[in-house]
Amino acid sequence: MRKPISFPKQVGTASRQAHADFPEEAMYEREAGRSGFFGPATHFHHQHAPTGWSDWEGPLRPRAFNFQELQGLDTASPWVAPNLLYNAHCKFRIWHVSEPMKKLARNADGDDLMFVHEGGGEFFCDYGHLTLRDGDYLVIPRSTNWRLEPTSPMQVVMIEATNGAYQLPDKGLVGNHAIFDPACLDVPDINQRFKDQYSEDSWQVEVKRHGEVSVVTFPYNPLDVVGWHGDLAPVRVNWRDFRPLMSHRYHLPPSAHTTFVAERFVVCTFVPRPIESDPGALKVPFYHNNDDYDEVLFYHAGDFFSRDNIEKGSVTFHPAGFTHGPHPKAFQAGLQHKKKFTDEVALMLDTRDALSVGEAAHAVENSDYVKSWQEK
């Protein structure tokens, strides 16, 4: 096994502990680390904010999109929703659905993770029935037949693990029941609502494979299962079930909030929690380099304490290659410990491979976002 070159060393004036007790002459800490937040790292203490750029040229820049402004997302098929951010291992889409699906969907390209941003409805699949509401995550295994019947218009984030599968993270020292207990995971049920949709009427299945859709027609409803057994099924969990890890003396990295992992990316969830109370502890996300991962944040609800002027339904995208962190107002508020509790809910996607920006996303980009770290 290869090991990183490692030689813990201190040069100049530095704190003994990361994210705490900064030198008086250098209040800005910057973390340069590898492998997300799991590899070797160095913490620099700067006299100026690492995001204090006065100008930016070239395509590598922090980006923001208001996906609430996207048009044409309300479709009967999830496969019509455009790829907004994507690479060979991951596809990020947003899909609006307000009417019951008339055809079944089946993704032969990989697992799908759905996050219900708004609305709710009834989910029917090979395994049975589930009721969905806002804030629900739903993992749909590859090649599952499924459909939605919205009870109110639904806005859904869809993240495809292309040619891959979703798993739960290794929770290490804190044990299997931390963050959320696996007992919180719900699976579909063969209940009366599911049995009521049995039908001898003709149904079609839209199967997506290699990004192309084929349509298979059956002279009956293929969702006709009467029972099943095994350890593969869709699972649902709501962010309200989460009990986030925290320390009153240390600002934990985003990796402490990991919800799902796939082969080349992870999905994290930030939910309300107490803010660090120790006088020397950092109270906002720390400045850090994006050296190995692209970072995407979808803002679901609440007051996003590290960002200015970001509305729910918006997305920020920080590609690998530069330092980013809290906006100036948020950083100053953290120094003054103005807030004692966060009330934000946000989904984070970190990908090991570079993401491309889809054509539809370009139309709703805030081109001034790169300037938002400049002191007003």
What span, in angstroms and rounded, lies between the C-alpha atoms of 40 and 47?
23
Residues 267/260, Cβ–Cβ less than 8 Å: yes
What are the backbone dihedrals phi and psi of residue 335, each rounded to the nearest 5 degrees, phi first? Answer: -60, -35
Angstrom CA distances, 178 to 38, 183, 251, 259, stand at: 19, 11, 18, 11
What gap in Å lies between CA 107 and CA 207, rounded to an integer? 6
Catalytic residue, candidates 117, 129, 251, 318: 251
The pair phi, psi for residue 340, each rounded to 5°, is: -105, -10
294 annotated as belonging to a binding site for a ligand: yes
Amino acid at 158: M
Considering only CA atoms, which of 191, 73, 219, 218 is closest in space to residue 122? 191
194 three-state secondary structure = helix
| Residue 251 among the catalytic residues | yes
> Which of these, 140, 144, 352, lies nearest to 265 by C-alpha position?
352
Cα separation of the two ends of the chain: 49
Annotated binding residues for Fe cation: 288, 294, 324
Annotated binding residues for homogentisate: 324
Annotated binding residues: 288, 294, 324
Active site residues: 251
